[in-house]
Amino acid sequence: MTSHPVDRSAQPANPAIPDPEELRALAPAAVEQVRTWLREARKHPSNFSAKQLAGVLKDPAGLDFTVGFVDRVVRPEDHRIAAEALADLAPQTPGFLPWYMKSAMNLGGRLAPAVAPIAVPAARKVLRELVSHLIVDATDAKLGPAIAKLQTEGIRLNINLLGEAILGQREADRRMDGIRTLIERDDVDYVSVKVSAATAPHSAWAFNEAVEEVTAHLLPLYELAASQGAADGPTGTGPTFINLDMEEYHDLDMTLAVFMRLMDNPALQDLEAGIVLQAYLPDALDAMIRLQEFAARRVAAGGAPLKVRVVKGANLPMEQVQASVTGWPAATVPSKQAADTNYKRVLNYALTPEHTRNVRIGVAGHNLFDIALAWLLVQERGLTTQWEQGGRSPDVEFEMLLGMATGQAEAVRQDVGSLLLYTPVVHPHEFDVAISYLIRRLEEGASQENFMSAVFELDTDPALFAREQDRFVASLEDLDTAIPTPARTQNRQAAALDVARGPVPEPVDGFANTPDTDPSLAANRDWGQSITANIPGSTLGTETVAAATVTSPEQVQAAVGKAVAAGEAWASLTGAERERVLGAVADSLEAHRADLLEVAAAETGKTLDQGDPEVSEAIDFARYYGRLARGLDEMPGAQFHPSKLVLVIPPWNFPVAIPTGGVLAGLASGAPVVFKPAPQSVRTGAVVFESIREGLVAGLTALDGVSADEAESLASDVVSFISIDPEQEAELGEGLIAHPDVERVILTGGYETAKLFRSVRPDLPLLAETSGKNAVIVTPSADLDLAAKDVVTSAFGHAGQKCSASSLVILVGSVATSPRFHRQLVDAANSLTVGYPEDPRSQMGPVIEVPGEKLQRGLTELGTGETWALEPRQLDGTGRLWSPGIRAGVRPGSDAHLTEYFGPVLGVMTAETLEDAIELVNAVDYGLTSGIHSLDPDEIGIWLETVNAGNLYVNRGITGAIVRRQPFGGWKRSAVGAGTKAGGPHYLHGLGSWTDAPVAASPATAILPGHSDNQGGSAGSLWADAVSASPGAVSAPAGSVQRLAEAAGLEAEDRAWLAGAAALDEQAWNEGFGVATDISGLMAERNVLRHRPVPVTIRWESGPLVHLLRVILAGRRAGAPLTVSVAEGLPAGVGQVLAGDPQVEVRVEDTAAFHARAAQLTQLPPSAPSGGDPRIRLVLDWSEPGSGAGSRSRTGVGAGAEASRAAVLALHEALDGSPDVAVYANPVVSAGDVELLPFVHEQAISITAHRFGTPDHLTDHLL
């Protein structure tokens, strides 16, 4: 919040806002009023339930227990699951509960698993009794009597109907029907409704369209309310009052616009209605002024006044969650005191006779100091709080929450005249949906920052009273007449890049993710509208494509030659210089965000909500890979050498991020690049290229010693952009792949494409992200509403055309027959707006082209036993626009189980147990992304240890990986090559070669193989504490090294080298590979990168024995099972040492036998238990003739680089170029960060770490 100047006298006064000195002068009287109310409150003791709940919250573990009980025992449909949770939670029952409640809980916990149908309802009844004063039963039999009991003299009720999460239009209609029923009741005269309850979720970019739709759905309720008369109500005959509730910040503008649109309707001119403003938003006062101006015009035209309910705000945890995940600034003011100040600021403006004529005010809250101040201010300014029978409503109403601090509420009521109680009602079978409301209430009672934490002891504990009094006075000190500005200031329309970008998060380890565009801001929505308007006629990139189109082998050679020629100058830059240049590329991409969104939408059908995060990802690649470039120069134990040329062949489905990532990875590694986009997205590729080139020019020009002409020349050549006509793709593309200057190929596409490339060039150094057949498992312990939402988002974003998309959902146990999950899943999918991206309402765009045979099969043909839960429909004549499809009854091994259709179709499978579900997931040939929805930590733990995929997601969607936060790349046939993840710390490692740079080593002690490491494998030795012998030396685990060295008869130089390499392994393991790291450290989400050992075959083909030993040590440090293949027997001592390790198998075989056995690896299905990712580490002699390899050449077989290249080619030919086997043949180096990589799988895990904003710590002990 930016409106707190140090010198209040120096700021210009706003004439519409009274002098705040009036409020400060009332502070002493307000404190005395609080004391009076507290004395009076003693005469009205809290009810039993309130006392018990207060006692629970005083217990240090009370909040966690209550939230856990509500979430794990009350919410699950399955009594068995609830019973297991009850047994787990019962020992944690707070001691404050009366003996019979504790006894019931403890007995229920012991008996629950055996008698779940009896124990679970009984335990749930205890909880419902505990919170019965907060939430009312909505059934007809209970609601009427409850209203009659609560609605006594001076008490009115604001009824808020709670219900299931609204994921689709069917549930929205059901909620509207429920609210309509409330309005029709004679004993209800005041109801609350939210804009999110009126319709299915809408695109955040379709603001105007959503306002129209929501208004149209709410209008019948308001018309009905206007026609109603609550004859028996405390206010006499009159229309039912509708209060439009405020939700999170992203709904602020929407709620205001809908409210004013409704109140502008001539049919509602005489209807009083209200809206809520949240004072913890700095935008609140500006919104109040807008509402005042609107209402003044309405009243002047003869209309009824309006009402604003002013609250502090109840969604702070979720606002913090959004800020944490998106990187946007928190929408709220920075502190609780600032919220208290802003609350008073809004009331100071609103509580004047001039303003209350147009806008009546509801002073809502439980902070007695604030209420007392407002009450005194009301009296001071001559405002009314009493209802006049048949007359005008009061200027001000005081409002509180049902069941909270009832004694104090009654004391206040007696003075102010009446109270309006916010009263949530819920049907018993939907009680679980009250969880988020309950959590907010419980947090308020437990948080020491909140007044409610002191409410029960305020009159008996002088220290607590003094604390709250001091906070009250402090909030008044900052009070002024300024109108605060919003916390979020991002403005994509701004010319200045820093304004357009807006505030960015603080970097962590030198890097911060780029925030996406915030559509809750009006300027950004206008910016988005200008983009969608340009989509139909977009021609961006056309000229660049025409100029880059090649039609002959000679033109291909020229493009390659140009890049290679520029490569030497580019490679001469240091990593730090490349980082600076790529930073300028990031700025250029940011500046061209609108162009990139326009062309991607026009070519590939990307809607703004799908395209905008992709541009952010591209920018992240520039900054993150630039950061990694510096690291290549700083690798202990190895020197990096860029490739001669990197060829980047990206897909059409991520036409901005993936090509940008590939090109910039190549550049960051120091290599020149040839960039050939997919034919379907060639114009997008051209705009990407133009943006990169512009950034390169700017970045190079800024370097010392580089002239403008040199920068222009190098930028124009170091990335060579080419387009190949699809009819010439086979001939020219094959020549490009086979070109001898191409030393690395970055491919993102289908597995079959990778096979095709390898058929052209069996030893092609390929780094490929390929296909995926991904599933989300939903267990009975899951939040079913959240699971349904995430499955639909993951399955149908970008029409399912993502390799990470969820094309399967596997329902465990009772979820398979859950009407609720089925209803929510189908409703959410069926309610998606399908259209082209120029329509901002579109939530799912078209497929890229008329479906081919595979996708057509997926959209139109059912397998044995399958039925359509939601049948896909072709929506227009192009063949590209399809509605979502959900097929139920998918059987194991069927086409729908194993085939990646790559389109908007989701298969539903069932499994009896979690273990069965994991088998179904692992039965496919791919292992890219995988997800689970479960609130049972044991289930999550089992899944984390047994599912085979590179990117894992817990209680969230499985798409949308973010650079560094969730490095992206799969296992099995989802990845080809080095196995390092895009956007991860090791991605650049595979884009060049390494030579050794030995480090000094010192002796240390270690014990030989046998212990289990923390990643699930058996490590090669117990790397004991090491003691450095000299300053700057790297400590070496010398015990195992010494035994191997002695057994091999190594000379002193080789022993020292081996010890130094082993020490670097240890350092790399302890600082990275062996630690599950969450570098992002977000409040709302855990993002952990870990490394899992993988079996590897080590083949010693040539080179010194010490190199073989060094590779074996790396593999065993990683805990990887090893097969060591040698042409001749190892020295006897070495064989004996290795024989003592059960995870090492030594095979003596000639090259032909080795090749035959390697070829067998290609026949093993990737889904087989022992299949997946076969890897071979070739140990070769890469020394050039006459180089002099030193003493290490005397302990092995010499060969030379030429022979080694031939050996690599021979192995690939024996494998028939299969992408299923990864071959690592780089020279052996000391660097642990390099040599450990072949022996581990990288795995990124993203876990939602909160429930409704409250940290849940569900998986803290698992990772």
Judged by DSSP in three states, 639 sits in: strand
Closest of 1096, 1071, 1098, 1100 to residue 1231, by C-alpha: 1071
Query: How far is the C-alpha of 642 from the C-alpha of 121, rounded, in Å?
Result: 66
The span from the first CA to the last CA of the chain, in angstroms, equals: 37
Strand partners, 932: 777, 954
Per DSSP bridges, beta strands 549-550 and 419-426 are: unpaired
Judged by DSSP in three states, 814 sits in: helix
Per DSSP bridges, beta strands 867-870 and 885-888 are: antiparallel
Residue 278 is inside which H or E element, if any?
A: strand 274-278
Point out the catalytic residue in the list 803, 900, 939, 1235: 803
Query: How far is the C-alpha of 789 from the C-alpha of 829, rounded, in Å?
Result: 9
Per DSSP bridges, beta strands 971-972 and 926-927 are: antiparallel
Query: How far is the C-alpha of 1104 from the C-alpha of 1193, rounded, in Å?
Result: 5
Is-catalytic flag, 769?
Answer: yes
Query: How far is the C-alpha of 224 from the C-alpha of 370, rounded, in Å?
Result: 36
Phi/psi for 370 (5° steps) reads: -70, -40
Instruction: Tell the burial category of 1187 from Cβ atoms under 10 Å away from its Cβ (0-12, 13-18, 19+).
Output: exposed
Amino acid making up residue 45: P
Query: How far is the C-alpha of 1182 from the C-alpha of 1189, rounded, in Å?
Result: 10
Point out the catalytic residue in the list 769, 939, 1085, 1101: 769
Contact between 746 and 666 under an 8 Å Cβ cutoff? The reply is yes
Residue for token pair 């993710």: 513
Tokens representing 1044 are 């191997």
CA-to-CA separations, 625 to 575, 581, 588, 766, 984, in angstroms, rounded: 10, 11, 16, 19, 9
What string of DSSP letters covers 682-719?
HHHHHHHHHHHHHHHHHHHHTSTT--HHHHHHHHHHHE
E strand residue ranges, 813-944: 867-870, 885-888, 905-911, 926-927, 929-933
Contact between 779 and 809 under an 8 Å Cβ cutoff? The reply is no
Closest of 165, 168, 191, 194 to residue 180, by C-alpha: 191
Radius of gyration of the chain (CA): 34
Query: How far is the C-alpha of 1099 from the C-alpha of 451, rounded, in Å?
Result: 69
DSSP single-letter state for residue 1221: S
Sign of CA pseudo-dihedral 869, 875, 880, 883: negative
Closest of 236, 1116, 997 to residue 638, by C-alpha: 997
Tokens representing 321 are 């969650």
Is-catalytic flag, 803?
Answer: yes
> Which residues are known catalytic residues?
769, 803
